[in-house]
Amino acid sequence: MAPRHASAPRLRHLRIRVMLRPVTAVHLTPQAARVISDELRTADSTRETGGILLGHHTDDTVIVRHAGTPGPGAIQTPTYFLRDLEHAQTTADRAYTQDRSVWIGEWHTHPSSRPVPSAQDTATYRQLLDDPELAFHSFIAVILSPRTSHWHMTAWACRNDVITRVPVHTVPEQVGYQ
């Protein structure tokens, strides 16, 4: 994952900084999990892929209601991913209109390494957290890496100068968070 270009437009949905507790869990709705699994099934597994995560902070939990795809203009190499910002903005606009979901993080793959933030990932998260216009309370990173027959998913809550691994769960259809 890489920082955005300085001249690139920003994901512009309003973010309200509120005093929330540190994130202790990430819940993916079935809809968000489906987008990620569909992308993993169809993407070139030798190159990084990913997208934005949209949803809400609820107390100390993040609910991911929507996951984006890389978009047609994404840059994808074996060790680097940069989302298509225009595509991400369209996804964010749609999610905000649907249920007021806001940008809370990103997901991406590490095809040839562990699902742990790289030095570049860490620098990107720090840059996003330090941007006062974005006003992130926390930034959620979901990273996936291949196992023998499936993808291994980990979630990371980035806040201040600390990145903490947190449990990630796909909530059942009946629980919803619709």
Domain-embedded: residue 157: yes
Q: What is the per-residue pLDDT for 20? A: 65
Q: Range of 81's domain?
A: 25-170
Q: Would you state the pLDDT for residue 135?
A: 86
Q: Please give the mean pLDDT across all residues of the chain.
A: 87
**Residue 1 maps to a domain:** no
Q: Is residue 130 part of a domain?
A: yes
Distance CA 167, CA 155 (A): 6
Q: What is the pLDDT of residues 48-96, one digit of tens each?
A: 999 999 999 888 999 999 999 999 999 999 999 999 999 999 999 999 9
> Is residue 2 one of the residues assigned to a domain?
no
Query: Considering its fold, how many domains does the chain have in total?
Result: 1
* 126 against 13, higher pLDDT: 126
In angstroms, the CA 28 to CA 106 distance is 12
Is residue 20, in this structure, part of any structural domain at all? no
Digit-coded pLDDT (tens) for 99-123? 999 999 999 999 999 999 999 999 9
What are the DSSP E strand ranges found in the chain?
Answer: 25-28, 50-58, 61-67, 75-77, 80-82, 102-109, 139-146, 151-159, 162-166, 168-170
Task: State mean pLDDT over 161-168.
Answer: 94
Residue 105 lies in a domain: yes
Question: How far, in Å, CA of 157 to CA of 42, rounded?
Answer: 27
Inside any domain, residue 162: yes
* Residue 143, pLDDT above cutoff 70: yes
Check which CATH number belongs to the domain holding 89 and give it. Answer: 3.40.140.10
| 4 assigned to some structural domain | no
pTM: predicted TM-score of the whole model, two decimal places: 0.85
DSSP state of 131: -
